[in-house]
Structure 1
Amino acid sequence: MPFDGLFTHAMIAELRSKIIGGRVTKISQPFPNEIILTIRSQRQNHPLLLSAHPNYARIQITQIPYNNPPVPTNFTMTLRKYLENAKITEISQLDNDRVAYFSFTTRNELGDELPLLLSIEIMGRYSNVLLINQAENKILDTIKHIGPSQNRFRTLLPGATYIQPPKQDLLNPFTDKSKKYLELVQQFPNREILAKQLQKNYQGIATEHALYLADRLHDVGDDLSTNWDQALKQSDCPTPTIVEGNKAFFTFFKYDNDSKVENAESLSVLLDKFYQKKATSDRVQQQGSQLFHVIKVNLQKNRKKLKKLQQTMDSTQKADILRVKGELLTTYLFQVKRGMTEIELPNYYDSEKPVKIAISNQLSPSQNAQKYFKKYQKLKNAVEYVTKQIKITKAEINYLEEIETQLELADPQDLPDIKVELQQEGYLRAQKQNKSGKVRKNKLGQPDTFYSSEGIKISVGKNNLQNDRLTLKMAQKRDIWLHAKNIHGSHVIIHNSQPGEQTLLEAAELAAYYSKARSSGNVPVDYVEVKNIRKPNGAKPGFVIYEGQQTLYVTPDEDEIKKMKKI
């Protein structure tokens, strides 16, 4: 994904136009490797995201909402100490590298002016965010501490002298006066080879951008120097583009000849579109790895148990045969002689088919008969027990599959609720007590809120605890309840007793979208008044039964879902 030096250059140009001269009004750290500075500039709040994530490191203004952790980190507290109300004066780039510097001016405790640098280094797993006292060239703190044992050349710890990343022996494409690219295009006429040579000679050019520049240099009949300069100038006037294909990527270049492109109004909006799904999914996988593991293990255990129970149930089908053999032995006891190992007797239940019966030569005729009756009674007793266990195990599997679906559809902020539920149900150990002997209760998340095109409020539960509270406590008796039919998914409530047809369809789309059938084309959705919903005694969280429902068929559309969220 080409957040390379060229894209960094373009992003800095965009940020300069929006936040230079602004002041920091809020600082938060929603995730371990990501900081958000809210910059008040031009009468607007701009949430500036600085991400040192190993896979998605970037800088941008983001509109994706985040929840703050209950306890701020040390790095967050350091940033708040020095940067709150600080004024941003400049944004610069280290050559054409993926290193950006945000210059701030503020005042220390004595009232003296204090120049600060906030640096973000976008370098894959080595990405970092550093706060630097520019006057003393000392590091105040970093989001990732790098000690001498990890990097002898460059220590990134509070109090250490700041050293810039090692300079690359490559040309800066924006300041190159030698026009090395003209020499390369003569030597390497092949597009792919030329692209690789551009990367070897110029700093900060990803493969996708190198191929784009190679194409511009291969335009026959044009002034190649003009093509090169015009391509680079697009960083100051970008065309934010997502290029689809085997491997989708984002760019600021204008792709005229590629039909599979999606444009955005700004580079920041582009990154929100590109990263939101993938980054959210990865965060859920990382932060919820324990939950995924617990569900996977318990599903495997219960599916294996169900298989064995069904095998046992199959074996109980032989119970009647054992009873018949015992009765026949009792009836024809006089024909059984001690020492026999098998006997064939007429079957008065089926006169055409005599029955062969194995008998033990160590037992008397009557003991052989009793042996068959005992086996019959044992299997008969097993039927009731096994039937009950199969029902319990199927319900357990259904519940675990429901949780699995919720994890697949979850946002990071939904995970604490699911964890609490698994603790309550005994799949995870309960939260430890604090020093005072009390267990700290996590505040349950709120259902998501949407509005139909008719302006009617619609609520969507994102997990079982939210579903129960939404349906059984928050909803009114005449409100409309919706759920994907016979499919794991969310409870949806229309907060209106007589919604229009359009609202019903839109709420059904929400129920289909927040279900296992999200990617399906025609999803059945049941709807019924809340008064017809009830929860059986002892039922698992999220489980309800209902009657008198009607069914709609809808196709979930993500764009339509987003519109309802924004209204």
Structure 2
Amino acid sequence: MSFDGSFTHAMTKELNEKLSNGRVSKINQPYDNEMIMLIRANHKNYPILMSANPNYARVQVTNIPYTNPGVPTNFTMTLRKHLGSAVLSKVSQVDNDRVMRFHFITRNEIGDLKEMLLIVEIMARHSNIILVDKQDDMRIIDAVKRIGADKNRYRTILPGDTYINPPKQDMFDPFNASDENLDKISALVKSYPNQEMLATQLRQNVQGLGKDTSLYLAKYLHQNGNLKILFQSFFDNFDKFKPTLMVNEKSDSFSVYPFIQNDKNETFDSLSALLDKYYESKAQTDRVREQGGTLIHIAKNELKKNRNKKKKLQKTLDNTKKADEYRIKGEILTTYLYKIERGMNSIKLTNFYDNNNLIEISLSNQISPSENAQKYFKRYQKAKNAVIYVNEQLKQTNSEIEYFDNVLSQIELANPDDLNDIKTEFKAEGYLKKNHNPSSSKKNRKQKISKPEHFTSDNGITILVGKNNLQNDQLTLKDADKRDTWLHTQKIHGSHVIIKSFNPDDMTIQQAAELAAYFSKARDSAKVPVDYVKVKQVRKPKGAKPGLVIYEGQKTVFVTPKEETIEHLRKNNQ
């Protein structure tokens, strides 16, 4: 089920039950187009995620941790100014549309009470978060996405504009359906016995139906019974919901109710907990791609450049294999100079290096026989010298390819918070221009490497996992005791893992190996080889790239990484 109008109806009900008369205590914008508003209600703190992300727009209570940017955005400062300490009187929905309104009671400059609206429009790439002064004729204060007349002539979203609701469609609200509306539904069911065709018709007539919801409703209405009662019964589930993660072979989906029964379905205490589970990895991946776009672009460009360079170097190296051929031809020409006449384009001579078989040698008709022989010797010397240079260049190019392959793997597995380390690393390595602003440069110099993630084995032993090259170097080469145990996937890009024990038991090694496999490019593989060795046997070659180490005397264990195990080890650390 998508976050359609019907799901918005259910979420509005859930938020009202939890947040009514709550007070705003904090407002932050940890990610582009996403706000976190901490509301204290009923002696509890509720972090409300309001997302205008084009792919994962939604509103929910979230328990997924986040990190605030060092400097708040202008929109954050505007919200803090107008909504700081405001009381949330209610949450409402516009009809059955994907528009939620947060009604705040606050005070103006002279202390009079006034109502402000924070409107969240959940409409894919058109999603937005808009602050509106209700008592000033719905005047827009600001929005997370400003929309000018060049993008939308009908409806601009700019400070000072009057807020206009999204265009209303000719559909009816299923939660306030009239007898006439229900008669229309009955007629549609009779006219369209095919479930998918009926679902299409329902989406065109009933407001707030996503594709999944319309298919569930079509199936529901094809049951035997009174169609009007079936219709109303279906939408009752959105008021008495049973949040369910529905698992199937193609992809998981979330729903207010288990419309499709499955033994693998997972139920939750709230819609928000359901969305946390469903969106945690999806939204995180999207945020990493969004925030790490520049880093990904640099890494991919460098990979492309180095792969092209490798092809050219390989071609040059292949040509150097002709070096001996040039030498032989030069020596044969020198031996038989008396047979060569100026102006010849080629000549066949006896090859005393090949059982006296004839060899045809190309000549330049513009130079003398002796100069032709010298030309072959020069080619030979050039090719011979090139072998050393090209091999060195190939070694460096392969190292660059390996490095950027590794970085892309790290970005793919990263949390948004891990990207700052990669950005710092790129600046240090010269792949990303440094900010020449004096104050910014000072901050960059003082920036500390983020901490590795902590896990705890079932036997109570701490396991540390580095998430990027700088973390890995710091963890392995500086922080770890030489008697600790170090793990890494064998010949596969991945994290450095440290077991904080001088003599870890087999279970801890197994669990640490699963962590190493999970935080590697082999996350989705089975029987992943993981090497483990004492830290003292790991070292960094001189001049090596960040994160690169070599080791010896290792043992190997084979594991299959499972997300459940990783979560279990995370909880052990809490």
Distance 1:501 1:99, change over 3 A: same
Separation in structure 2 between the aligned mates of residue 437 and residue 266 of structure 1, nearest angstrom? 46
When structure 1 is superposed on structure 2, of 473-482 and 167-176 the one drifting more is 167-176
Q: Aligned equivalents of 2:275 and 2:309: distance in 1? A: 46
Equivalent residue, structure 1, for 2:437: 433
- Counterpart residue number, 1:236: 239
5+ long unaligned stretches in structure 1: none
Amino acid at match of 1:240: P
Q: Which residue of 2 aligns with 1:39?
A: 39
Whichever residue aligns with residue 405 of structure 2, its letter is E
> Which of residues 513, 519, 524 in structure 2 aligns to 1:508?
513
Q: Give the whole-Å Cα distance in 2 for the aligned partners of 1:166 and 1:310.
A: 61
2:161 equivalent to 1:177: no
Of 529-538 and 193-202, more deviation after overlay is shown by: 193-202
1:414-451 residue CA offsets vs partner (Å, 9 max, x unmatched)? 22222222222122222222479857444432222222
User: 2: CA distance between counterparts of 1:562 and 1:432?
Assistant: 42
Of residues 31-40 and 332-341 in structure 1, the stretch that sits farther from structure 2 once superposed is 332-341
1:34-88 alpha-carbon deviations (Å, 9 max, x no partner): 1111122333322111111222211111122211111111221122223333332
What residue in structure 2 maps to residue 93 of structure 1? 93
Q: Which moved more, 1:116-125 or 1:363-372?
A: 363-372
Contact 2:350-2:357 within 8 A present in 1 as well:
no
Distance in 1, matches of 2:156 and 2:308, equals: 52
Q: Is the 8 A contact 1:34 1:50 kept in 2?
A: yes
Partner of 2:259: 255
The whole-number CA distance in structure 2 between the counterparts of 1:155 and 1:375 is: 70
Q: Within 5 A, what are the aligned runs for 1:171-320?
A: 171-178=172-179, 179-180=182-183, 181-220=185-224, 222-243=225-246, 244=248, 246=250, 248-257=252-261, 261-320=265-324
Matched, 1:491 2:496: yes
2:449 corresponds to: 444
Q: CA offsets, 1:304-363, max 9 Å, x none?
A: 21112222222222222333344445556666677774243252x554756555556766
TM-score by length of 2: 0.90
Per-residue deviation, residues 226-251 of structure 1 (Å, max 9, x unmatched)? 32222211112223234435565322
SS of match in other structure, 1:157: coil
Partners in 1 of 2:375 and 2:532 — Cα distance? 56
Shift of 1:153: 5.0
Distance 1:362 1:72, change over 3 A: closer
Asked if structure 2 preserves the Cα contact closer than 8 Å seen for 1:195 and 1:210, the reply is yes
What is the distance in 2 between the residues matched to 1:30 and 1:439? 19
Cα distance per residue 1:147-184 (max 9 Å; x no partner): 45555554433344444444443221111131232333
How do residues 63-102 of structure 1 correspond to structure 2 at under 5 angstroms? 63-102=63-102
Alpha-carbon contact 1:477-1:529 (below 8 Å) kept? yes
2: CA distance, partners of 1:398 / 1:287: 23
8 Å contact kept, 1:433–1:439: no
From the superposition, tell whether residues 123 and 354 of structure 1 become closer, same or farther in structure 2 (CA, over 3 Å).
closer
CA separation of 1:142 and 1:316: change in aligned 2, threshold 3 A:
closer
What amino acid maps onto 1:412 in structure 2? Answer: P
After the TM superposition, which of the residue ranges 51-60 and 15-24 deviates more from structure 2?
A: 15-24
Q: 1:316 to 1:201 in 2, by over 3 A?
A: closer
TM-aligned CA deviation for residue 465 of structure 1: 1.4
Whether the 8 Å contact between 2:530 and 2:556 is mirrored in structure 1 is yes
Identity across aligned pairs (percent)? Answer: 52
TM-score, reference length from structure 1: 0.91
Tell me the distance in 1 between the aligned counterparts of 2:358 and 2:160: 96
- Gaps (5+ residues) in structure 2? none
CA RMSD, 1 decimal: 2.7
Count residues with an aligned counterpart: 565
CA contact (8 A) 1:431 1:439 kept: no
Q: Which residue of 2 aligns with 1:479?
A: 484
**Given that residues 243 and 270 in structure 2 are in contact (C-alpha distance below 8 angstroms), is that contact kept between their aligned partners in structure 1?**
yes
| Distance in 2 (alpha carbons) for counterparts of 1:533 and 1:159 | 62
Amino acid at match of 1:372: Y
Distance 1:360 1:165, change over 3 A: closer
Q: Does 1:386 align with 2:383?
A: no
